[in-house]
Amino acid sequence: MKTVAVCGAGAMGSGIAQVAAQAGASVVVYDTNHAALEAGGKRVADALASLVARKKLDAADAAAVASRIRWTDRLEDMSEVELTVEAIIEREDIKAELFAALEGIVADDAVIATNTSSLPISRLADGLRRPERFVGMHFFNPAPVMKLVEVVAGRRTSTDVSAAVVATASAWGKVAVPVADVAGFIVNRVARPFYAEAFLALEEKVASAELIDHLFRSSAGFRMGPLELTDLIGQDVNYSVARSIFDAYEGRTRFTPQRGQAALVDAGRLGRKTKGGVYCYAESAAPAEAPAPTKVADPSGLPIVREGRAAFARLLDGLHGRAPRGLVGVGDALVGFSNGRSAASEAASAGRDVALFDWFTADAGAALGFSASSDSASAAAVALANAVDRTVFRIEDRPGLIILRTIAMLVNAAADAALDDVADEGGIDAAMRFGANYPFGLFAWAQDFGRDRVAEVLANIATETDDAMYEPSVYLKVAAR
């Protein structure tokens, strides 16, 4: 579709207009607010100038893109478009009024799309004369940068309309993923454990906020840690999504909102925009760096079995995402990787002190989190990791530690989404990679780690915590069988 209208000249609307125009479409941007139209035009002009400065676009092409966007306060100027994308305030009544007006202006075969991130597509279409041409087209902010577009079909959306929107978004250079009309679609639903588990670990005093975020960046390859990301998104926005999804799924435990985040919202600590959230921010200050790594006071006095060191080095070298089974003897202690049980539980079973390392990706840095059943086991883990050039941070002992527990729960949420036919595995993986910037697809990670082992990790966490939230999804249990 080459003729496009965008309703709403805010950050999202102007971004969508830029995307369409850069792909060669003729675009009309509508807004009733003249100041918003001016700000939207300036936003696009500044973005194009930045692309020219970074040599991503030449000046002539940038001028051509700008010339393909028309800014108007007249709804009638949209009469000739093939596709209209609504990107206004998230209020159902105001959207409904706009859609009714659009139906009286655009052609009968024109597609009307909404960029809503939370409202049901089927319900928004209920009042339309032709609901079969209504579809969700959910972009992620900033639209010119983020690759994902969730294409959401309502109950009465035509398959031809969905296919046309997928083709159009793909032609605009986006990763277009067809999604069922459910609360949270893919990304906002599946991503809930990423934030919830971090707040839970913080509440349980497993590690400091700085260390939790540091481990996600340095051990697991995420661009941002979950706590600093909630500060960037806005604690109020992130918590509101958590609450709405929890309510939509009638209190399903996997989507339980976290008390620690609610407390931040109640206190007005909403993140960067209020100069304080999980972290405190000065005008340009970033969150504090992670604490110093855990060290052994006198490593020369610690007996390290040569074979144990070599075996552990081989385990690390051959890891490539798959946490090895078994424990390595280091002096009087055993050292290995978490399988969902706590170090204390492993020690009780083995009759020896145990230290357990969290999961990490071989492509990330040299940082590792670990827990231990005793100080002597901690010293063994530190010495052994240091012997193979790994930096380690001791955290409080808990089932599944931090990284493994979070990723296993993300896989669980993805499995539930697949079970509910929200999207197929490939679509869910693409959505999380390109909409949430995850370093890997969740099903791809589970395939590498072993789906049966993910189910085992979750079952172990559920047993130790006595919390049904961690029970493996039926989808994973079937895969395990």
Candidate list 34, 138, 214, 320, residue with the active-site label = 138
The secondary structure of 183-220, three-state, reads CCCCHHHHCHHHHHHHHHHHHCCCCCHHHHHHHHHHCC
Q: Cα separation of 406 and 192, whole Å?
A: 10
- Please report, for residues 12, 113, 123, the alpha-carbon distance to residue 93 in angstroms, rounded to integers and kept in the order given: 20, 16, 11
Residue 426: beta bridge partners? none
Q: Is 34 a catalytic residue?
A: no
Q: Which two tokens stand for residue 227?
A: 């706590």
Long-range contacts of 44-51 (CB under 8 A, 24+ apart): 44/14, 44/17, 44/18, 44/69, 47/15, 47/18, 47/144, 48/18
Q: Cα separation of 207 and 205, whole Å?
A: 5
Q: Which residue has the tokens 């400065």?
A: 53
Helices 451-465, 442-449: inter-axial angle, 10-degree rounding: 90
Q: Which amino acid, residue 429?
A: D
Residue 100 has φ and ψ, to the nearest 5°, of -65, -40
Q: Cα separation of 373 and 381, whole Å?
A: 11
Q: How far is CA 363 from the centre of its chain?
A: 19
Cis peptide leading into 120, omega within 30 of 0?
Answer: no
Q: Cα separation of 403 and 411, whole Å?
A: 12
Q: Cα separation of 84 and 10, whole Å?
A: 15
Q: Which amino acid, residue 127?
A: G
Residue 213: closest CA among 319, 316, 291: 291
Residue 67: closest CA among 27, 34, 40, 35: 27
Q: Which two tokens stand for residue 100?
A: 């009714």
What is the CB neighbour count within 10 angstroms for residue 119?
17
Torsion angle of C-alpha atoms 350, 339, 196, 371, degrees rounded to 10: 50
N residues, the chain: 481
Active site amino acids: 138
